[in-house]
């Protein structure tokens, strides 16, 4: 099982148990320690994972940070924990900031078991930033955040590599926050920058700005809805962006066909199964309906990717990585379940 599958399964488990976790201690034992175990750390080895780590900070003596992760005999990662029902704010990082400055730590993590906020000293050396460069939400997993989290696996941990990407991640997050603020409530300055002479040539009074603020917010909403609709259309009909001439030139490769044939044999059905091809992947559908696609196959240099169409509430995909087609036997029940739901459409 690869890392994204492990973290996805763990996410489902946490979703089921989180409402029964009432204290910080139970948050640690039920979620936080297993999370760091998934990253490859031996949480029961006091020379690697130290609970209640003490480092005197100025006049503050005897204070403890919840955990220190020791790498090359140095506490390079400090972890401050809060109960699972705590909303994390900047006031929760004060202890991390103090310890960061008096140890050789390069990263601080603030977590309530669900959200993990990663900090470093990108602005001033040995002074922890107050803005995290990475936020990982265990209940809303995104592939790009998983890719960044993988850098903190014990076997892959490399300070230089993480810091090289941390700065861009931090500023991208800050820019996204600003965009979100402007989408929700466009500022006067932002409204002025948009309503140039080509849109409104008159004097930009407060009344005018207030009028256009509503127009701009509505335009944002409609633009986003249009973009989502267009993307969903491409997902539902994977080859919709191809012209007829392009479709004719694309054919399923022998490697892709091997996987699709294997799945078809697993299903053992007399119903009409068709193979289709886009510029990125091959896929299988039931009959002529493009909405009834069952699975997709991405043949890549490293691990191949197999995705199943899930029909529960939304048209999302479930991903599986494999090196050999026979490994798909392990998800036979999932393949069969998807096919049966597809037949009911």
Residues 292-345: tens digit of each pLDDT: 889 999 998 878 999 998 776 445 678 888 989 999 999 999 999 899 888 887
Alpha-carbon distance 101 to 320, whole Å? Answer: 42
Query: Are 326 and 298 within 8 A, CB to CB?
Result: no
- DSSP reduced 3-state for 205: coil
Alpha-carbon distance 24 to 18, whole Å? Answer: 12
Residues ≥6 apart with Cβ < 8 Å to 2: 303, 321
User: Which pLDDT belongs to residue 248?
Assistant: 47
Q: Tell me how far the alpha carbon of residue 86 is from its chain's centroid.
A: 21
The β-bridge relationship of strands 49-54 and 282-286 is: unpaired
User: Which pLDDT belongs to residue 89?
Assistant: 83
Q: Does residue 155 register a pLDDT over 50?
A: yes
Phi, psi of 293 (to 5 degrees): -80, 140
User: Which pLDDT belongs to residue 2?
Assistant: 81
Query: Are 154 and 39 within 8 A, CB to CB?
Result: yes
pTM score over 0.85: no
Average pLDDT, the chain: 85
In the chain, helix, strand, coil percent, each to 5? 45, 20, 35
Q: At what angle do helices 254-267 and 332-343 cross, to 10 degrees?
A: 80
The β-bridge relationship of strands 293-298 and 282-286 is: antiparallel
Pick the closest to residue 27 from 87, 95, 111, 91 (CA basis).
Answer: 111
Q: Residue 318's CB: how many other CB atoms inside 10 A?
A: 15
Q: Does residue 90 register a pLDDT over 60?
A: yes
Pick the closest to residue 54 from 35, 73, 67, 45 (CA basis).
Answer: 67
Which of the four pLDDT bands, split at 50, 70 and 90, describes residue 30? very high
> Which of 153-157, 234-238, 250-254, 291-295 shows the lowest mean pLDDT across its residues?
234-238
User: Which pLDDT belongs to residue 261?
Assistant: 94
User: Which pLDDT belongs to residue 56?
Assistant: 61
For the chain, the straight-line distance linking the first and the last C-alpha, in angstroms and rounded, comes to 31
R_g over Cα of the chain:
25
- Could you tell me which residues are beta bridge partners of residue 317? 309
- Could you tell me which residues are beta bridge partners of residue 231? none
Which of the four pLDDT bands, split at 50, 70 and 90, describes residue 238? very low
User: Which pLDDT belongs to residue 232?
Assistant: 53
- DSSP reduced 3-state for 19: helix
Residue with the larger pLDDT of the pair 25 and 303: 25
Consecutive H or E run containing 116: strand 115-119
Q: Does residue 124 register a pLDDT over 80?
A: yes
Greatest Cα pair distance in the chain: 77
Alpha-carbon distance 121 to 104, whole Å? Answer: 11
User: Which pLDDT belongs to residue 237?
Assistant: 47
Q: Does residue 92 register a pLDDT over 90?
A: no
User: Which pLDDT belongs to residue 327?
Assistant: 92
Q: In what order do the strands lie in the sheet with 115-119?
A: 49-54, 64-71, 74-81, 107-111, 115-119, 134-137
User: Which pLDDT belongs to residue 223?
Assistant: 78
User: Which pLDDT belongs to residue 81?
Assistant: 93
Q: Does residue 240 register a pLDDT over 50?
A: no
Q: Does residue 10 register a pLDDT over 90?
A: yes
User: Which pLDDT belongs to residue 335?
Assistant: 93
- Token pair recorded at residue 214: 């509503």
User: Which pLDDT belongs to residue 180?
Assistant: 83
Q: 178-221: per-residue pLDDT in tens?
A: 888 888 889 998 988 888 767 888 888 898 898 888 888 888 88
Which of the four pLDDT bands, split at 50, 70 and 90, describes residue 153? very high
Q: In the chain, pLDDT over 90 holds for what percent of residues? A: 38
Alpha-carbon distance 8 to 23, whole Å? Answer: 24
Pick the closest to residue 163 from 227, 103, 106, 80 (CA basis).
Answer: 106
Pick the closest to residue 173 from 193, 139, 144 (CA basis).
Answer: 144
Average pLDDT over residues 280-290: 86
């Amino acid at each position: 099982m690869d890392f994204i599958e492990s973290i996805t399964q763990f996410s489902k488990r946490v979703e089921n148990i989180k409402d029964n976790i009432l204290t910080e201690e139970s948050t640690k034992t039920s979620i936080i320690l297993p999370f760091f175990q998934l990253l490859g750390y031996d949480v029961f080895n006091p020379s690697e994972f130290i609970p209640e780590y003490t480092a005197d900070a100025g006049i503050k003596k005897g204070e403890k940070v919840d955990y220190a992760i020791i790498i090359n005999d140095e506490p390079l990662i400090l972890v401050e924990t809060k109960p699972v029902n705590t909303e994390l704010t900047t006031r929760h990082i004060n202890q991390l900031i103090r310890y960061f400055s008096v140890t050789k730590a390069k990263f601080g993590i603030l977590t309530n078991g669900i959200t993990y906020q990663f900090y470093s000293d990108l602005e001033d050396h040995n002074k922890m930033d107050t803005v995290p460069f990475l936020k990982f939400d265990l209940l809303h997993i995104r592939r790009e955040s998983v890719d960044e989290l993988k850098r903190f696996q014990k076997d892959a941990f490399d300070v230089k590599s993480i810091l090289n990407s941390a700065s861009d991640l931090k500023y991208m997050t800050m820019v996204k926050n600003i965009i979100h603020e402007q989408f929700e409530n466009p500022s006067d300055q932002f409204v002025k920058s948009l309503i140039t002479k080509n849109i409104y040539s008159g004097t930009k009074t407060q009344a005018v700005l207030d009028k256009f603020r509503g127009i701009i917010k509505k335009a944002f909403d409609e633009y986003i809805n249009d973009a989502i609709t267009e993307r969903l259309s491409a997902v539902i009909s994977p080859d919709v962006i191809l012209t007829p001439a392009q479709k004719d030139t694309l054919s399923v490769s022998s490697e892709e066909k091997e996987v699709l044939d294997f799945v078809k044999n697993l299903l053992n059905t007399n119903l009409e199964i068709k193979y289709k091809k886009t510029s990125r992947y091959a896929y299988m559908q039931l009959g002529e309906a493009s909405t009834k696609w069952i699975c997709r196959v991405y043949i890549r240099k490293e691990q191949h990717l197999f995705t199943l169409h899930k029909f529960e509430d939304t048209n999302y995909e479930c991903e599986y990585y494999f090196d050999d087609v026979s490994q798909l036997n392990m998800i036979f029940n999932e393949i069969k379940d998807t096919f049966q739901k597809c037949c009911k459409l």
